[in-house]
Amino acid sequence: MSDLNRIRARFAEEVGKVAQVRSEAMIRAFARVPREKFIGPGPWLTFEGTGGWESLPDANPERIYRNITVGIDTARMINNGQPGFLAQLIDALEVGEGRHVVHVGCGMGYYSAILAEIVGAEGFVTAIEIDPVFAERARVNLARYSQIRVVEADGGTHDPGNADAILVNAGVTHPQPMWLDRLRVGGRLVLPLTAIRPEGAPAWVTRIVRDHAGAAILITRGERGYAARMLTRTGIGPLVGGRDAYLQSVLKDAFAKGEVEGIRSLRRDSHAPDAHCWYHGPTFCFSRLPPPG
Separation between Cα atoms, residue 238 and residue 201, nearest integer Å: 14
The percentage of the chain sitting over the pLDDT mark of 70, rounded to a whole number, equals 93
Average pLDDT over residues 23-36: 97
Residue 235: per-residue pLDDT: 81
State the sign of the Cα–Cα–Cα–Cα dihedral 135, 140, 141, 143.
positive
Q: What is the pLDDT of residue 67?
A: 95
pTM, entire model: 0.94
Domains of the chain, by residue range, sit at 81-287
Burial class (CB in 10 A: 0-12, 13-18, 19+), 221: buried
Q: What is the pLDDT of residue 39?
A: 95
pLDDT, position 204: 45
Distance, C-alpha 161 to centroid of its chain? 19
Torsion of Cα atoms, 64 then 66 then 72 then 76, to 10°: -140
Percent of the chain with pLDDT over 90: 84
Q: Would you say residue 66 has pLDDT above 80?
A: yes
Residues 172-191 have pLDDT tens digits of: 999 999 999 999 999 999 99
Cα separation, 68 vs 64, whole angstroms: 7
Four-way CATH pick for 81-287: 3.40.50.1000, 3.40.50.150, 1.10.10.10, 3.30.750.24: 3.40.50.150
Average pLDDT over residues 135-157: 98
Tell me whether the omega of the peptide bond preceding residue 43 falls within 30 degrees of 0, making it cis. yes
Give 271's DSSP letter: -
